[in-house]
Amino acid sequence: MKEEEKINENVNENDNVNETLNPEDSEAQEAAEDLEGTEEAENGEEDELSDLKSQVSDLQDKYLRSVAEFDNYRKRTMKEKAELILNGGANAIKAILPVLDDMERAIENGAKTEDPQVLREGMELIFQKFQKTLEGLGVKKIETENADFDVDIHEAVAMVPGMGDDKKGKVIDCLQQGYKLNDKVIRHAKVAVGQ
């Protein structure tokens, strides 16, 4: 029996020792788990950091491409604008050339005839053709007959007193015709205005 008691005591002591070791083991296990969690967190942070670096690299690439595309667009539009300025009058010149040809023919034929009426009719036809050509290009004459004076389209070069109240502020005479190109004044009409 004594031996059995000793064995039981030894078993109890071992249990006590295990119990005292178990808290240490559990702390060691917790420390190991914390270390594993820290390593996993560091690995997760490294993965996230590499993902962010990849995104930044992609965004930088897109930005540089966009800047290059815009620069090319700007250069192309500047070149097109310069070409329009240099060659923009070509269409107007092409439209006017037939009128020039008619004038040359009128001068050549004018030497062959003595009838001033024929010359006058020829000049009137050329003038009408020239007006139609200009209208086709968007040029319109500014109307001045019985018009109210408008500083946006008229230029007063003379004031005519004593014309009466009905002519006050009205265009009396046009000294030089004015023109618009697509509703933009390219030359103001020089007029005399009633006072």
- What confidence score (pLDDT) does residue 23 get? 47
Task: Give percent of the chain above pLDDT 70.
Answer: 78
189 has which bridge partners? 154
Shared domain for 123 and 156, answered yes or no, is: no
Q: Is the pLDDT of residue 1 over 60?
A: no
pLDDT in tens, 105-147: 988 888 888 888 888 898 999 999 999 999 988 999 998 888 8
Q: What is the CATH number of the domain that holds 182?
A: 2.30.22.10
- CA-to-CA dists, residue 8 to 1, 12, 155, angstroms: 10, 6, 128
Mean pLDDT lowest among 72-81, 85-94, 176-185: 85-94
Helix (H) or strand (E) holding 186: strand 184-187
Shared domain for 77 and 108, answered yes or no, is: no
- What confidence score (pLDDT) does residue 195 get? 82
Over residues 157-173, mean pLDDT:
84
Q: Is the pLDDT of residue 13 over 50?
A: yes
pLDDT band at 21 (very low <50, low <70, confident <90, very high): very low
Domain count, the chain: 3
Over residues 54-61, mean pLDDT:
94
H helix runs in 88-115, sequence order: 90-110
Shared domain for 83 and 3, answered yes or no, is: yes
184 has which bridge partners? 181
Region for 192 from its dihedrals, namely left if φ exceeds 0, alpha if ψ lies in -120 to 50, beta otherwise = beta
Shared domain for 104 and 178, answered yes or no, is: no
CB atoms within 10 A of CB 10: 10
Region for 181 from its dihedrals, namely left if φ exceeds 0, alpha if ψ lies in -120 to 50, beta otherwise = beta
Query: What are phi and psi for residue 194, nearest 5 degrees?
Result: -75, 140
- What confidence score (pLDDT) does residue 31 get? 61
- What confidence score (pLDDT) does residue 20 get? 47
The answer to whether the predicted template modeling score (pTM) of the entire model surpasses 0.75 is: no
Over residues 54-64, mean pLDDT:
95
Shared domain for 18 and 81, answered yes or no, is: yes
Shared domain for 20 and 82, answered yes or no, is: yes
Domain of residue 99, residue span: 89-137
Residue 76's contacts (CB-CB under 8 Å, 6 or more residues apart) are none
- What confidence score (pLDDT) does residue 72 get? 96
Shared domain for 144 and 133, answered yes or no, is: no
